[in-house]
Amino acid sequence: MDTNIAGSTKNITYTVNGGPLAAKAPTYTTALFSNRLTSAFGAETAIFSGSNSNYQALAVQLNHRMSHNIQFGVNYTWAHALDFGQNESTFSDTNDLFAPNNLQADYGNSIYDVRHRFVFNAVATSPWKKSGWLGYITNDWTLAPIFQFQTGLPFSLSTSGNAPGGIPGGGGVNGSGGAFRIDAVGRNTFRFPSTYVQDLRLSKTVKIQEKYSVELLADAFNLANHTNITGVSTTGYSVATTGTGCSTAAPCLNFNSTSFGVPNSANSNFSYSPRQLQLGVRVKF
């Protein structure tokens, strides 16, 4: 984080044009960081163990063991995770905090905060036992579905542009060069859309004599080909410092109503991918 900034010499007030911040107040006032503790140095990185987290959860589970050719499991979890935005970078970096002298301003929902999660899984086998060639076709089928649903992960509203009069090389609405956010809106107060994935396995076992068998497998991942959003545009406000960029008094914060929260990627990681089909053969001996 950028720690070598003196206390704010003054405040800065923005006129708010639209968006969630305007719903709170027509103007937004924040501390303006305009100088450093030592002008001979630029940004300094301080590594400290000051983060804290809070996790609360309720889990409910129902299981039915295999009987009458079926078993299933259902579980639901409600949870809430909060923290100070811990840094998980491999190496040290700068500008992680909104305000370098106020860790509390970064307290909010964790990036791993999943409020609701529901999972259903089952295994069903064919109950009949036919003989002869009919048995080779109809016996020993297995169907195994898995359905997963959860509410979307949180993300923070970010800003573009710099406050007038901030420290040299600084940026953001408070001129510190820290996280480009707005403390009055909060960290991780918005969420991606909910996600769900339905996977399915269908298998058929063919027994060859007493000791040998061949299992034919067909797997479908994201069977419904549901579009799971994995990225959105997070820039909610842009800073304007002149009258030409503001409909009223400058400086101002203009809400990006046409782009904020708009999805820009989907099904683009390991957990959430487009529908995939997989065929396999397993020989047992």
Model confidence over 3-32: pLDDT tens digits?
445 555 689 999 999 999 999 999 999 999
Q: What 3-state DSSP class applies to 117?
A: strand
Task: Find, among 28, 27, 30, 261, the residue nearest to 165 by Cα.
Answer: 30
Separation CA 204–CA 193 (nearest Å): 37
Task: Find, among 194, 259, 256, 253, the residue nearest to 233 by Cα.
Answer: 259
Q: Is the pLDDT of residue 49 over 80?
A: no
| R_g of the chain computed on alpha carbons | 27
Q: Are strands 235-240 and 158-160 parallel, antiparallel or unpaired?
A: parallel
Separation CA 182–CA 99 (nearest Å): 10
Tens-digit pLDDT profile for residues 235-268:
999 999 987 789 888 899 999 999 999 999 999 9
* Model confidence, pTM: 0.85
Task: Find, among 106, 196, 119, the residue nearest to 151 by Cα.
Answer: 196
As a whole number of angstroms, the longest Cα–Cα distance in the chain is 90
For 75-85, what is the mean pLDDT?
95
- How high is the pLDDT of residue 94? 67
Q: Which of 32-41, 145-154, 207-216 has the highest mean pLDDT?
A: 145-154
Nearest-5° Cα angle at 207, 203 to 212: 110
Reported as a pLDDT band with limits 50, 70 and 90, residue 121 is very high
Token pair, residue 1, equals 């984080």
DSSP string, 31-91: EE---BS-TT----B-------EEEEEEEEEEEEEEETTEEEEEEEEEEEEEES-----SS
- How high is the pLDDT of residue 2? 44
Q: Is the pLDDT of residue 168 over 90?
A: no
Token pair, residue 217, equals 């497998």
